[in-house]
Structure 1
Amino acid sequence: MTTVGCAPAGTPLPLGIDTPFVLYGHRPSPNIGAVGATIPPVVRALGLSPAARAWDFLSIALSVIAADESTTRTTSADGWTRQIKLTVAVIDPHFWNTAAPRLEEALRFLTADIWKLEFIEGGYLPGPPNPIKVRNEDVVCLLSGGMDSLIGAIDLVAAGHVPFLVSQIAKGDKHDQRAFAQRIAKQAMHLQVNHNASPPGPSERSQRARSMMFFGIGILAATCLQSYGKGAAVELFVPENGFISLNVPLTPMRLGSLSTRTTHPFYLAKIQEVLNAAGLNVKLVNPYQYKTKGEMLADCKNQPLLQQLIGSSTSCGRYARTGFRQCGRCVPCLVRRSQRWRS
C-alpha cells in the first residue's frame, strides 16, 4: 500500500508517509510534492470567503488529485488497481473521519483503487478578505471548455439564471473558457483555477480522480453566494450528456474504470451523500442525464450564440497530446461526431 500525506506548510504529517505533499504551497525540496498553491491567492483576489467545510472538501479533493497523480499503476499487482492510504490535514478531522467510508466508496468507484482515508488536525482556513464581495449569482455551473458545459451555461442564462462559472484550467483551454464566460454571462463571476499538482516522482497519466477537483472548486464557489449564506440550497450544475456520463464501455478493453466515471450518476450520488452529511447545502445537478449530445445541441436555448462559440469548444480526450487539436478518434470525439445522427 502506498501512503500519501497532504498538509499545509507547518502542519506535521505522521511518520511513514511515502509521498508527502504541501497543500496550498510550493515544493520545499525535491522529495516533497505540492498541490493547490495558486488557489488561495485567486480566491482572495476575487474577494471570496468560502465556508470552512468547503475549504476542507477542497483540501480533500486536492489531496486525492495528488495521490492519484503520484501513485503509478504500473507497479500494482494487476497493472491497474492501486492501494492508497491518504492522510489529509483538515479543519474538522473528527467529522471527516466519520465521513471517510462514504468518500472511500465514492473514490473506489471513481478510480477502481482501494482507498483508505485518514484525517488529521491542521487544515487550511484563510482569514476573510477585506472587503468580502458577496456574490449575487443564483447557481454555480462548471465550465470546462467542452461542448456540454458550454450548452449548460448558455441554457442557464436563457432560463433567467445568473451563474457563477467555475473552470478547472486545462492546457489549451484557458483562453476559450474565459471567452465563453464573457460571451455567455459577462456580468457573472468566473473562477478559473488549476490544481497545479507537482508530484515528487513520476506522474500517473490516467487521472481518473480529476473530477474531484471540479466539485471541490464548485462547492467552494457555492458557499460564497449570498443565497447560501441565507440558508438556501445552491445548485451546482454539472452539464454532461447522459451517454458520456454513464460512459458505457464500447469494447471489453474499456470495462470498469478503464472508461472514466467523472460524472457517473452513482458517483454523483455518493458525493452528494458526503455533502449532505457535511452540512454543505449544495445540490449536484446534471440536467442532461437523460439526453444525448445531439439532443443537447438541438435543444440549446440560444442557437445563434451556440453556433458562434461551438467551434472553439473541446471534446477530445487527447487534446494536449495531439498538439491541441481534436483527434476525431477517441470516444469523446466519436460521440461529438455522432451528434448529427441524434434521432
Structure 2
Amino acid sequence: MDGDAPPSEHIVTCFAPRADGRGDELLRFDIDGKAKAVELKIGHMRKSVVAALPDIAIDLIELAAFVYAIDSSSSRGGLTVRQMGAKWHRRFRVTLPVRKLQTWCDPALKRELEETLMFLSGDRFSFTFTQMEEAEFVPERYFDFDEEDAWQPDTVLMFSGGLDSFAGALEEIIERKNRVALISHFSATKIAPIQRDLYRHMVQRLGPNALRHFPMRVQLRRGTNAEGTHRARSFLFAALGMATSVAFGRDRVAFYENGIVSLNLPPVSNVVGTRATRTTHPQTLQRFESLFSQIFSTPLKVDNPFFWRTKTEVVETIARLGMADQIAFTRSCADVHNQTKQHPHCGRCSQCIDRRFAVLAAGLQVHDPEEAYRIDLMTG
C-alpha cells in the first residue's frame, strides 16, 4: 500500500430497505455512527420478469448499491498526492442483512467478493452477513414497471452513453442481428437525458424491437458523497447488468470499452494501483465473472468485445454502421457536473483527449465540433 500510514478503518452497519415518501427505495446505513443513505430505482421492467428474479439477485443489487455508497462516504484525503498517499486505502467492516444468508456466508464466496473489491477499489472490505426478516422482503419497490409483452433480449449490454458502448450496441444490433437490452446506471441528472436521447435515436433508425433501455438510478443522499473517485461504481454497474441478464434468462453481460482505456496504463509515475481506474480492466471483468458465477451457482460470462480495438477503430465502427451523425450526441467527459449545453466536454480530462484524438484520426471531426469542448485540444 502507498504511504506509511495504515488504512483508515470504518465501521459500517447496513439496514434492511424501506420505501421513502416518494416511493423510491431507500437503503440506509451508518458509517462510524453517522447516518447515510442511497436511493435505488430501476425503470422499464416487467412484473413477470421481476417476479422470476431469485432472492440472491436482489441481495446482489442491494449489496452493490451499499458498496457504492460506502465507497463514496469516506474521503481518500483530497486531491494532493501527499494526502492521497496516506489516505487512499481504507478498511470497511460491514454488517449487512441479506435474504440468502447461507449463500453469502460461504467462505469461498466471501473471499472472492472481498478480493474483487480490493482489486477494484484498493480498499479492504470485510463483511458480516445477517438474516433479513421475511417481512422486509420488498424487492418490487425498486422497480418502475412497463406493460407486459413478450420481448426478450439476446444480449445484455452496459450502456453509458459514450462512444464505445454506443458502437457496441450498433454492432450487436446491425451486424449480429441481436436484440439488445441496454443497461444504464446514472447518479447525475445530466447523464440520464443523454442516454435516453441516444436510445431514442437508435429506436428511430433500427426499430423498437431491436433494443430496450433499462435506466437504473442510484443516487447518494445529501451528505453521503464525500469521495468523488467512485472506484467501486463498476461493481454496481456490473451487478445491475448481471441481475437483469439473469432476470431475462441470459448468462452474459457485455462491457464495450476500447483496450487502451480498459487497461488504463498509468500516465505518470505516481498513478499506480487503483489510482488508475480498473473499471473494465481484464482482471476486473474476470473477477466479476467468477464472483457472479458463484453467487448464482451457474457459469456466467462478463466480457469486453472491444478489448483489442483502439478508440479510433471504435469511432470508425460507428461511421461504418451508418451512424456517424450520432457521434455528437454521445458523451465521454469525466467532468459531468460542469457540463453545459454549449460545452458538453471539458476538453482536458483523459476521456476528452482520447475522444478528440480518435475522432480526428478517423477524419470525422465534422461530427464532433471543436466548439463542444471548453478547452480545445489544439489551441488550449
Q: Over residues 52-78 of structure 1, what are the superposed CA-to-partner deviations in whole Å (9 max), with x where a residue is unaligned?
A: 222111111101111101122129881
* Higher percent of residues as strand: 2
The structure 2 residue matched to 1:259, chosen from 276, 292, 303, is: 276
* Residue of structure 1 equivalent to 2:331: 314
The structure 2 residue matched to 1:175, chosen from 193, 196, 208, is: 193
* Residue of structure 2 equivalent to 1:207: 230
Deviation at 1:293, TM superposition (A): 0.9
- The 2-side partners of 1:47 and 1:235 are apart by 17
- The 2-side partners of 1:153 and 1:116 are apart by 37
The SS at the match of 1:117 is strand
- The share of aligned pairs that are identical, in percent, is 25
CA contact (8 A) 1:155 1:302 kept: no
Report the AA paired with residue 194 of structure 2: D
CA contact (8 A) 1:154 1:301 kept: no
Question: Residues 76 and 338 from structure 1, CA distance in 2 versus in 1: closer, same or farther, beyond 3 angstroms?
Answer: closer
Instruction: Give the TM-score normalised by the residue count of structure 1.
Output: 0.84
* Residue of structure 2 equivalent to 1:190: 213
Report the AA paired with residue 24 of structure 1: E
CA contact (8 A) 1:142 1:238 kept: yes
- The 1-side partners of 2:147 and 2:329 are apart by 36
Structure 1 segment 92-241 matched on structure 2, within 5 A? 92-98=100-106, 99-122=109-132, 124=137, 126=139, 135-158=151-174, 159-169=176-186, 170-185=188-203, 186-187=208-209, 188-198=211-221, 200=223, 203-225=226-248, 228=249, 233-241=250-258
Unaligned segments of structure 1, at least 5 residues = 11-22
The structure 2 residue matched to 1:91, chosen from 89, 94, 99, is: 99
CA contact (8 A) 1:55 1:124 kept: no
The SS at the match of 1:203 is coil
The structure 1 residue matched to 2:55, chosen from 45, 52, 58, is: 52
Deviation at 1:336, TM superposition (A): 1.1
- The 2-side partners of 1:113 and 1:26 are apart by 21
CA contact (8 A) 1:51 1:220 kept: no
Deviation at 1:341, TM superposition (A): 3.6
* Residue of structure 1 equivalent to 2:322: 304
- The 2-side partners of 1:270 and 1:315 are apart by 26
Deviation at 1:300, TM superposition (A): 4.0
Deviation at 1:192, TM superposition (A): 0.6
Question: Residues 200 and 318 from structure 1, CA distance in 2 versus in 1: closer, same or farther, beyond 3 angstroms?
Answer: closer
- The 2-side partners of 1:321 and 1:255 are apart by 27
The structure 2 residue matched to 1:246, chosen from 244, 248, 263, is: 263
Query: How big is the alpha-carbon RMSD for the aligned residues of Structure 1 and Structure 2?
Result: 3.0
The structure 1 residue matched to 2:305, chosen from 287, 310, 316, is: 287
Q: Over residues 184-207 of structure 1, what are the superposed CA-to-partner deviations in whole Å (9 max), with x where a residue is unaligned?
A: 243332111211122655621111
Deviation at 1:297, TM superposition (A): 1.8
CA contact (8 A) 1:140 1:166 kept: yes
- The 2-side partners of 1:45 and 1:36 are apart by 20
- The 2-side partners of 1:240 and 1:38 are apart by 25
The structure 2 residue matched to 1:325, chosen from 332, 344, 361, is: 344
Deviation at 1:237, TM superposition (A): 1.1
The SS at the match of 2:220 is coil
The SS at the match of 1:290 is coil
Q: Over residues 134-167 of structure 1, what are the superposed CA-to-partner deviations in whole Å (9 max), with x where a residue is unaligned?
A: 5411111111111111101111101200001111
Q: Over residues 105-146 of structure 1, what are the superposed CA-to-partner deviations in whole Å (9 max), with x where a residue is unaligned?
A: 111111111221222211745369898655411111111111
Provide the aligned length of Structure 1 versus Structure 2: 323
